Amino acid sequence: MSRQPTVRSAVIPVSTQSTQPTQSTPELTLKIPSPSTSVSPGQLPDVPKRDRWGWMRRYPVPITFSTLIFFVLLMIMIMLLRLNSDVEYLYGQVPYNVTGVAIVGHNYLLDLDKRTLSIQWEVIGCGAHKLSTYQRSQNIGASETCGPFDRAIDVYLNDATKPAFSFDPDHLPVSSTLGALYIQSLMSFGMEHQLNAYPASIYFPATKTRHLLDQQLTAPFDRYVLSAFVFVIDTATNQSVSITRFASADPLNHFITHFTDAPTTNKFTYDAGRGPATVDVESRALELDVRRSLRSRGFTMCMWVINWALTSGTVYITLVVLVNTEKMSDGVLALPITVILTIPTIRGLYVGTQPFDVVGFFLQIIIVALCSLTLLYLVIKPSPPKDPK
């Protein structure tokens, strides 16, 4: 069995010339392989332990930004995969084969400052209440069983004393070849609805208190609710007409709506010439949930993550400069100044939100401003005197 050389220390004196007699002669130590000593067969040479996570400590900034970019791309992919999954098809919710009247709405204007939602309501007769002279039209849900109502009616919407809309099929123009024509302005009416006014709240478990906020400050996760009721009266008999659907689900202004309707009853007072009479009539109630679309929320959160990534990068560079005792270059001030100008620009890309939020723009500007002041102080402060030695 062959022997492996080991290391033997040898001390070689080195002579130096010195004018100081008390100075000792330095020694130079060299390590020379010695053939007389060998390593035992089962013994392995000492190998330093490998640091598996050292690369993360060597490159913290690229790894951090790569992780943020990955999550941003993941959110974009999820947003694109579910792009159309949050929009309800309105006419698909109308029971065409049931006799009655359907009140379907088309949202067209949302004003968050006034908390109002404007809806164009369309009155549709289905089943036996469809006007017989009306032919199929793509304007009413592409259904052969629905069309203009076949008799004169009054629609009471959010007011049981005054009709919001009156319809008479005799007012529709009639074509010799197509029959009764579809005129949307004669079969529908617009109304501005007031959204339910209530504040948003944030609960703090540490203090067990709940703080109230404006709903828009919780964007893009703000939520608004519209409540309404409707009933339809046959003007010839003063009897209520069965309502098969009361809904509105069109997207608008990067918002979507989800509806829930249910049958109810209302008091209705009328005068047929023999004095006022009050009766119970069939009605239908609606609760409309208004939220931002998935595409709008995904885009806003991507911009939010990018702004926080810029803020985190500024904080990291400021800490590095504070730890480093060497003189800092004046060019490092360009980073926080650029970030301060970039954050409001990216914040302006948010979809339909206020220019102020609690956990975004406000904190980001404060943090970057403090970092800028810190770096500015490090630049203008006098350097410590150098050691003459």
Report whether pLDDT(193) > 90.
yes
**Structure token pair of residue 358:** 């609690």
pLDDT at site 86: 46
**Chain mean pLDDT for the chain:** 77
| Whether the Cβ atoms of residue 79 and residue 298 lie closer than 8 Å to each other | yes
Cα-Cα-Cα-Cα torsion 110, 112, 115, 119, nearest 10 degrees, comes to 0
Report whether pLDDT(166) > 80.
yes
pLDDT at site 240: 93
Compute CA distances 333 → 197, 358, 363, whole Å.
46, 27, 20
Report whether pLDDT(23) > 60.
no
For residues 362 and 42, which has the higher predicted lDDT (pLDDT)?
362
pLDDT at site 9: 47
How do residues 28-80 score in pLDDT, each as one tens digit?
Answer: 554 544 554 555 555 555 555 555 555 555 666 666 667 777 776 776 666 55
For residues 164 and 36, which has the higher predicted lDDT (pLDDT)?
164
